[in-house]
Amino acid sequence: MGGSRISAEVLLVFAVGIACLSSLASAASNTTDEPCQGAKLQDASQAEAESVLKSCSPEQKAKFLLESNNLSNETLVVLVFTTLNASLENLNSFFGSFVAGAAKRNLTALSMDVRDRLLNLTLTALVPQFNLLNDEGVQQWLQVYLPLLLPSANSQTFEVIPRNITCSSYQHIVKGFDNIISQLSGKQTQLVFNFSLDYLTGQLSSGLSCVDAGNVTDDRRWLEVNFGRFRFQASFMDFLRFNVNFKGVKVADLLSFTQLSQLAAIPSQLNGTQDVIKIMTFINASNFSRFFDLLEFEIKTRSTNHTQEVKSAFLQAVFDRGGLTAASDEEVLLWLRVQLRPLLVDLSPALVTSLATLGEGRRCNTTEEMIKLLDSLQTTFSSNTKTEIFGNIVRFLQGPTPLKCYSGGSFYLFLKNTFLSFGFPDVSTLISLLPPTRKSELLNSFNASELSQFLSEPGAIGNGSDVCDLFSLYNHTAAFLETEDVPDDVRRTILPCVWPLALSSSSRSEVNFWFDLRLKNYLRFLTPDLISATAVQNASCLAFEKLVSVMGNNFTYNSSEFGREDVYSSIRSYLSAGSGVRCYDPRDPELNSTSWFFNYIGSFITFITLDDLTSFVNTSQIEVFLEDRFNLDLFSNVAIPSNVTSFYIKQVFTFNPTFSPLRFPGIFLCSSDVPSMSYSSLDENNTLIILDRLGLFCNGTNNPEIAATLASNIKTLTLEIFRALGKASSGLSISQITSVSPSVLFSALSTLSSVTDWAQDQARTIIERLLTSDFKIDSAAALKSLGSLVTGLASELLDKINPADLLSIPTSSDFISNILSAPKILQLTFVNKIISLFKDPLTLLLSVPDRLALEIPPSLLAFPEGSVDIKIINAKLWTPDQAVLVFKNLAAAVFEADLLSPFVLQGFTCTSVQKMTPDKVTGLIRAVRPRLGLPKVVLKESQLTCMYNLVRNSLTENFLDYPSDMLLFFETQNIQKDSCRSYFSALGVADFSVASGILRKGPQLFTEATTCLGITGLSLNRDAVGVLGNMVCTLDRSYIENSDPFILEKLKACKDLSDGQVAAIETLLLSGKTVYGNSMSWSEQTLESLGTLPLHLSRNVWGRFQTTAKRNFLKTFMPNLRKLKTQKIKLKNLFRQIIPIVAKRAAGCTEGNISQVIISDPAFPFGYDETQFDLCLDIPVLRDNLNNICQNVDDDGFQKVILKKLSLAYPSGVPDQAVQMLGSVSRVATLEDISKWSITKVDTLSALFSADDGSWETEKSKEIIERYLRTSGNSLGPTELTIIGSNLCSLDASRLKTISPLSILTAQPANVASCSTEQKTVLYETSSNAFLVYRASFVDYYNLMKPYLGGAPLGDVVFLSTQNINMDVDVFRSLQLDVIRNLTVRNVQLLMGDQLRDLKLFENDTVVRTWANLQFQSDLDTLGIGLISNRTEPTTVAPIQATTAAAAFPQPSVFLAALLPAVLLQRRA
């Protein structure tokens, strides 16, 4: 019933509505719609009403529903809707009108039933046509037409919505529901969210769903359009499910609390601190606990791990806003154990301090729990974090109540339990933890083992001074050092701390404990500072003694930062401190040992200097230590400076002249400072003991004085004695030698032949004694068996040996060395014997020993160019005359100039290089430059000017590329100013004496040097002296006196010094301003330091030295001078300066009889004046030691004494053997003396004309030669000519005419410059015949003839000018003056060739000036060298004169041509 009533009512309403609608429609369309007229619907049935409604338009129907209360009538609504044609168009029209009308009526809600029914009907009609809707259509429906109905949505609503709609359509749907979300129930909200999940799941592709929709521009937009406010139903993982690239932080303001916690738990979502800050901005501080609970849960559940930065940001947020500082201990621990634990993993070092702040002021157990919590996570912490935790623990312990949690016991264990795995305090930190008043208490709570563990902790040792502070308070240091084994770096640090304790220990037992036990494993870590003078200066004597012992005997220096010399430096400082001998006290049992040097210097004695020694112990204190056995052994080290050992030995004998050398260590016996008299008291047995030790330690003795002393102790000479004597056999006197039977000498020959320093008379006597037995010198074997005795062999014995038998000898280097030490005549004889066997030059060169090639006559070296291997030539020693002849072989040879020997290079002349290319010549000149480690190539002035002339146009300013002596001849005006210093520096090593005095090169170059170096006045500073070098040898007295004392060092290199220069040197020395100090302090060492200068000094300086110093110095100085073959005139002058001015007058010998021992003293005859020498020298001693006396005596007066006594010794005439021994003594002989000499043997002639002994006066040399020639069989053969040399000029021309061409041909060339014109003419004629056979190679002929060209006639000289010989200016000036006057300009130009420019260089020479002034200037100008003549040019044209014609050169005689082959076979008669 009720339903019918409703239907009637509905119909009525519909009727009314339709009528109204009809009216409205009619009015609107101005048409009439009959069915919709209300009048007709009033009586209509329900069916008729439905029919009428169907005829109404959708708009009319919508308006109808909005009339009155129609919308509250569900039946009416259904009726209206069911009559609606459900096309999409009609639906759009209906809802469009409905929504518009509802808005006008402010209709915001419908009854739930109507709304439910209407939504259901709408969707039923719409869904089938949903596919016809585009995105805008869906938006129109869901957001415009249906919002009034959507609150009625249910599960069926979402089921009917198709899932194949576009994302935009879907998003419009979501938006529609989002717009009315406030009207939805929770269930409906979940339904919408479920619909979203369902739809988005269907759209999911590659982790993205509806991300690419046109209206999605970023994560915020994506979240809003796809979820709207239904997002709160989602988990954060839902968002990531549909958008793998979703970044929640960007939309944190859109997320829920739970979603934020979920977001925070995902590491990939958080890129850093700012992301965390953004999240935490939306978390209220009151919710922190819940948030971090959720975060902790999420992290634990997902097993995720954030970056340190992210976790740090979360922690910082807690520290900043979490209010934990005000929380209770329990709450703080809870936070740390639970909520924050995941965030503490990989804790940032920057947050440690903030975290530590939470523990401030809390209970000890709370702080301990916090540290334990962190310790449980320490494996995740970085080293920096651990360091920060460590630092905060330190700060916790330091205050404000220091060590408040320490309750006693081992402080080490307390710290271990506090720091746990966060390290352990280093020493410095530990010290800082100790309250000042408790340091000792806390440190000594460590037992030795704990201290060892503590110090062994990695990094425990930081500041060494803190370690020292620790040990300064620690009471168990000794136990620690004795028992604990710690790492090396710990030992290295501890040592400086305990080192002063060791050094200050004052009892020997304590010292031994320190060095032998406690520091045994520490000493290798000693540093330069610890052994420095400062560190050990205050050491106790016992500790210092032990230190010296340990460092000398037990310390390994390989890996230390200092060496033994550094230790010695500290020893020197220690022992030099204070006055007197430090650490020696004869009253103290611990310090009264006389082994002082052994105890306090020990093995470091090798570093001691003489100044050190005298500073440790002065001469008044040293006596007590000298003879101590340990000290003697100590000073016997061969590495000790010789002057120290020398001083020690001298001091021994100074304080105890009777000290026996038997007490010396063996090596001491090798010293020349052991006085020979100390051996004189030995009996024969002890002498043999000494000899044995000399052989063992010194390889015998080389001291002739000691050898003579030891030999004099021997009474009977046997084979065993000779073997024991060994080298000392050279000390035997002639009388001793003659007392030995020949058989014993023969048995001892192997020993005697190995003695290297036989005097000639000793060796001769032995040979003579041997020859009285069956021993014969008739073979090479017998000759070689003589060994060093060959020096006493007579040349006639050598001459008797078959030449062929001698060919095996040149391979014996020992024999060659021995014969080179023998008289010159033996070398000459030996080479002549070899030469006599060969005609072929190559075989000859190969057969003559390299070191004896000097004796080959130059004529035999004129072999064809290129016929001899340059290697053979380069291996031999040559004289300059020989080198000139072999040099031409370089022209065709391929060689490296720098590898040529100095002996070959000295053959460079303009003649010898004329066939060489310019490059080869330049290379040879460069090879002559000074080179380190190679002897200087000695060249004459003419060779140097030749070199300069050849390269003058291609010179560079690399002056070191040229021979230093050649630089003397550079044209300095062409040297650039900025290069002048380099030039003078290179010139500084030149020999200025090479240049002729007439050139005044020294003064000239010095003037130019002063300009270059800016020298003004007479004073030269050190730099200028250094640059000038050898040029200082040319300076006069005023410069030397006023220059830097360094000039003395340069003057040492001067070959000669003038009287003025010597006076200047002495002025400098006596000024006390040199390195040699005040003359009051001068000693033997001073003399040694002066180098060669003592040779030139006057008695003004020599008188400042004590006699002993002079004697000791002369013992080495004189042998060195003799070895250098110092000019006899200089030796004579030296002796005059060192002996007293006034001879002692005495009735007898007061200086001691001269014996063989005294004569053997190298300083002999120092100490004797002429009178004493005469009185103290007995004739038998003179005869027995004639050779040694003559070799050592240089003074004219002394030498005259020798000659006087010699005439007394040999009243019937002095025999050849004695004359051969005279040496330089012979030069003071009178003609009367000479008349008493026997000069029958060539050996005597050779000995008398030794150039080393000085020059002869003409009459004397003539007498000697004539006396020799008076002996039957003697003549001026090649050997004699070689021996006599320049002394040929003392013979009459008639005698010279007796010389055969063959003798000239096979002799060494002679210097005949001192000969008269007549003599030169004779010698020229003979030599021109001799060498004419070489005219095929005119260069060879010229080189052989050069010495004799002073006698050449004009025609021959003119002929030479046509042969391209490049005559040097020296040879030119040696020509006869008459010849020179008649040479034309053209003649001279052709003669001199490449040497022509030397005429300008020597234009001030008398000969050159004479010739130039004879020429017309116009003719000289053709030379182009700037030579000036004072001859007036003719005013009229003179008749043309023919050039001086060259004479026809003489042809070799038939006799000479036939005789030439015999040259190589000639032997001295």
Print the SS3 string covering 587-615: CCCCCCCCCHHHHHCHHHHHHCCHHHHHH
CA angle 429, 433, 435 (to 5 degrees): 140
Cα separation, 1464 vs 1458, whole angstroms: 13
- Which ranges of 601-718 would DSSP assign to H, the alpha helix? 610-616, 623-626, 629-634, 642-655, 677-680, 684-698, 704-712
* pLDDT tens figures, 411-446: 889 888 888 888 888 888 888 888 888 888 888 989
The CA distance from 344 to 381, in Å, is: 9
Report d(CA 1298, CA 272) in Å as an integer. 122
Token pair listed for 956: 């560079």
Biggest CA pair distance of the chain? 205
Cβ–Cβ under 8 Å, residues 139 and 94: no
Per-residue pLDDT tens for 1362-1373? 999 999 999 999
Pick the range with the lowest mean pLDDT from 808-812, 962-966, 1210-1214: 808-812
pLDDT, residue 1436, reads 55
Distance of CA 720 to the CA centre of its chain: 55
> Mean pLDDT over residues 765-778, rounded?
93
Which of 651, 656, 729 minimizes the C-alpha distance to 687? 729
pLDDT band at 18 (very low <50, low <70, confident <90, very high): very low
**How confident is the model at residue 46, as a pLDDT?**
64
Instruction: Determine the number of helices (DSSP H) and then strands (DSSP E) in the chain.
Output: 88, 0
In the block, tokens 């020509």 appear at 1375
1308-1337 burial, b for 16+ CB within 10 Å, e for fewer? bbbebeebeeebbbbbbbbbbbbbbbbbee
Average pLDDT over residues 1297-1312: 95
- What is the C-alpha separation between 195 and 192, in angstroms, rounded? 5
Could you give the percent of the chain with pLDDT greater than 90? Answer: 59
**pLDDT averaged over every residue in the chain:** 88
Mean pLDDT of 1037-1053: 94
- Please determine, for residue 1437, whether its predicted confidence score (pLDDT) is greater than 70: no
The 10 Å Cβ neighbour count of residue 489 is 15
Predicted pLDDT at 1053? 93
What's the burial of 1230, exposed, middle or buried (CB within 10 Å: 0-12/13-18/19+)?
exposed
What is residue 784's predicted lDDT score, i.e. its pLDDT? Answer: 93
pTM here is: 0.68
Q: Is 912 exposed, middle or buried (0-12, 13-18, 19+ CB in 10 A)?
A: buried
Is 143 in contact with 179 (CB distance < 8 Å)?
yes
Q: State how far the alpha carbon of 1382 is from the alpha carbons of 845, 1014, 1319, 1398, 1411, in Å.
A: 43, 48, 21, 19, 8
Phi-psi region of 917 (alpha: psi -120 to 50; beta: other; left: phi over 0): beta
Cis status of the peptide bond prior to 1165, with omega within 30 of 0: yes
* Most confident region among 405-419, 859-873, 1125-1139 by mean pLDDT: 1125-1139
Report the SS3 class of residue 910: coil
- What pLDDT does residue 26 have? 41
Residues in contact with 1418: Cβ distance below 8 Å, sequence separation at least 6, in sequence order: 1433
In the predicted model, is pLDDT for residue 15 greater than 70?
no
Query: Which pLDDT value is given to residue 1142?
Result: 64
Confidence of residue 10 (pLDDT cuts 50, 70, 90): very low
Q: What's the average model confidence in pLDDT over 270-291?
A: 86
Cα–Cα distance, 315 to 324 (Å, whole number)? 11
- Cα–Cα dist 933/950, whole Å: 27
* DSSP codes, 505-558: --SHHHHHIIIIIITTTTGGG--TTTTSHHHHTT--HHHHHHHHHHHHHT---T
What is the predicted pLDDT for the residue at 1461?
41
Task: Mark out the alpha helices in 1236-1292 (DSSP H runs).
Answer: 1242-1248, 1258-1269, 1278-1284
Query: What's the pLDDT score for residue 1237?
Result: 97
How far apart are alpha carbons 941 and 908 in whole angstroms?
12
Could you tell me which residue, 21 or 808, shows the higher pLDDT? 808
Q: Contact, 1004 vs 1031, CB < 8 A?
A: no
Average pLDDT of the segment spanning 1240-1260: 96
- The first and second tokens of residue 145, run together, are 């037409």
Q: What is the pLDDT of residue 1145?
A: 65
Q: Is 1124 helix (H, G, I), strand (E, B) or coil?
A: coil
The pLDDT value given to residue 468: 87
What pLDDT score does 1465 carry?
42
504-511: long-range contacts at Cβ-Cβ below 8 A with a sequence spacing of 24 or more?
A: 504/538, 504/539, 504/540, 504/543, 505/540, 505/542, 505/543, 506/540, 506/542, 506/543, 507/542, 508/542, 508/590, 511/540, 511/542, 511/543, 511/546
Q: What are the pLDDT digits (tens) for 21-55?
A: 343 334 334 333 444 434 343 445 667 767 777 78
343-401 pLDDT, tens per residue?
Answer: 888 888 888 888 888 878 788 888 888 888 998 888 888 888 888 898 888 888 887 88
169 to each of 86, 141, 527, how far by Cα in Å? Answer: 21, 10, 88
Identify the pLDDT of residue 24. Answer: 37
Per-residue model confidence (pLDDT) at position 41: 36
Amino acid at 1149: C
Point out which residues pair with 1237 in neighbouring strands. Answer: 1214
Do residues 672 and 661 make contact, with C-beta atoms less than 8 angstroms apart? no
Instruction: Give the helix/strand (H/E) hosting 114.
Output: helix 112-126
Nearest to 1189 by CA among 677, 711, 734: 734
| Per-residue tokens: 826 | 């033996």
Rg over CA atoms, the chain: 62
- The region that residue 30 occupies, defined by phi over 0 for left and psi between -120 and 50 for alpha, beta otherwise, is left
Write out the H or E segment, with its range, that includes residue 751.
helix 749-752
According to the model, what pLDDT value does residue 832 have? 93
CA distance 36 to 852: 161
